[in-house]
Structure 1
């Protein structure tokens, strides 16, 4: 699942609730709309995206990074290009 959330859509808590309780996911790609959430390929610590990462349980979360291609198999497992945060 790619979760595309911004300041006017979902809070980190609301987005984590969707991922943890409502949708059974193997992995999550989070797209940090309207937030400079990453630097050097890593999520910045004081961002909404970082708060979301801390709240997600029992599955990897991958930040969407410009110019990076990620590949997943049919079961949602990353097979190339991913670095879980």
Structure 2
């Protein structure tokens, strides 16, 4: 079970590396494409803000899916044994 918990954490970190909302948040005030005027900074800020919100939500959904799989995984063998015994009777 401890090994499975470590794998869940590794899957969560893999999702974090893939989505990287922290990286977008770190660079939220850096202008994109070298646009240093106020319009470019404003556009970059809101674009990155939306990226942080969407990627953060996707990361939470990913965490929920991984946690659900972790919780269901030990139940699967019991269900298989139950249906096997039921079909043999």
The structure carrying a bigger strand percent of its residues is 1
User: Which category describes the TM-score, using the shorter chain as reference length?
Assistant: under 0.3
**Greater relative contact order, per chain length (Cα 8 Å cut-off, separation 6+):** 2
TM-score, with length taken from structure 2: 0.21
TM-score, with length taken from structure 1: 0.21
